[in-house]
Each structure stands twice: as C-alpha cells, then as structure tokens.
Amino acid sequence: MGLIDGLFALVFGRGRNAVRETVGIFRENAEAGAARDVALQAQAMTQLGAEFVTPRQGFFDRLIDGINRLPRPAMALGTLGLFAAAMADPVWFAARMQGIALVPEPLWWLLGVIVSFYFGARHQLKKQNFELEVARTAAIAPEAVRQVGILEALRGSDQPERPGAADTGPDAAATAVATEPEANPALEAWRALRSA
C-alpha cells in the first residue's frame, strides 16, 4: 500500500492535482477564461455606459451635434439644387459635370466608403433602437393580457361578450322567430302607393 500511495503522491502530489496544474501550463482553464471574459465585457459596458450618463451641455458639444446632423440634409438639398441648376443654366451645369468627370476613381471609392460608414452607423443605431422598443413591448405584453382578462371578468353577464352571442344555435323555433321580418308600417305604406 505504501508503494502505490507513494506512486500516486509522485504523480498527483499530496493534496493537489499535479496533472491539472501541469495541463494548466499548456492549456487555458476554460472556466477561468470565461470568468475573465465576462469581467472584461462588464468593464467595457460600464465604461461605455458612463459616457452617456451626463448630458452634454457645453457650446462645443452642441456645435458638434449640430454639425453631425448636417450631412444628410446637405446631400438631399444639394442634389435637388443640382436639378434646379441643370434646368436654370444648362451650360453652367454641364461645365460643373465635366469637372466632376475628372475626379479620379480612387477618390470616388473613398467618398463611397465615407458615406457608407456614416449612413451604415445611422442605420445600425436606428435598428438597435427599434429592437429595444420591440423588446420593451414584448416585456409588457403579459401584463396587458392579464389586464384584459380582468376587464373581461368584470363585464356583466347581461351583455353579450362577443359578436354572435345572440346566436340561436340548433333551436329551430328560436331561429324562425329571429329571422321572421317584423311589421314595418312605412314599408307597407310605400308598397301600397306603388301598387296603386
């Protein structure tokens, strides 16, 4: 027994797991790595959230926010302005378009990348806000269903609950009474005048 105990103590160590410690040198512990990743992500989210806690009140911040709002209206109004210029002075417009034709292709690619990133970021922000609103609505849906159930329970039994509540079902006599036309003196007087 002493020999086997000594052999296990040599391989696994006394009170420790030497195999796990040895493997830990060559391979990351998945559980510890996941804990580090969670801590890193939590710190990043905390830092990101801290940037939006205080509203920007300074002149510079308002100026930059205003400048950030300019590209889309400027591009839309500029395009409409080009149409107006083409109709007002076609020669001037043709000269400007000849100048644009001289712009090298790499510069067009750069403009396309800049515009794509600007509008792509706006689209992503709008999409995330939409998904947030959908999640909020889905979160309150069970409460709304519960409230509707309470209101339905409060409704009196003398009022019909749904369309078709006055349906006679298989009762033939009730169906005949319900479908028999009532006396209409005005209609009868009109018929008498027509037949006369």
Cβ(19)–Cβ(11) below 8 Å: yes
**pLDDT grade, residue 70 (50/70/90)?**
confident
- pLDDT tens for residues 79-113? 999 999 999 998 989 998 888 888 899 898 998 88
Which one, of 81, 149, 76, 162, lies nearest residue 119 by Cα? 76
Token pair for 108: 């067009």
pLDDT score recorded for residue 77 = 93
Is the predicted pLDDT of residue 12 greater than 70, yes or no?
A: no
Query: Which single residue is written with the structure tokens 């690619």?
Result: 109
Inter-residue contact 30 to 39 (CB < 8 Å): no
Q: Which residue has the tokens 């410690």?
A: 21
Q: What is the pTM of this model?
A: 0.33
Nearest to 122 by CA among 53, 57, 68: 68
The C-alpha angle 45, 46, 48, rounded to 5 degrees, equals 60
pLDDT tens profile 117-127: 877 777 777 88
Q: Which amino acid is at 162?
A: R
Contact 92, 85 (CB under 8 A): yes
The arithmetic mean of pLDDT across residues 60-65, rounded, is 83
Q: How far apart are CA 176 and CA 99, in angstroms?
A: 86
Per-range mean pLDDT, top range of 63-77, 120-134, 172-186: 63-77
Residue entry with tokens 């794509």: 116
- In the numeric block, the tokens 């019909």 are attached to 160
**One-letter identity of residue 29:** N
3-state helix, strand, coil in the chain (%, to 5): 75, 0, 25
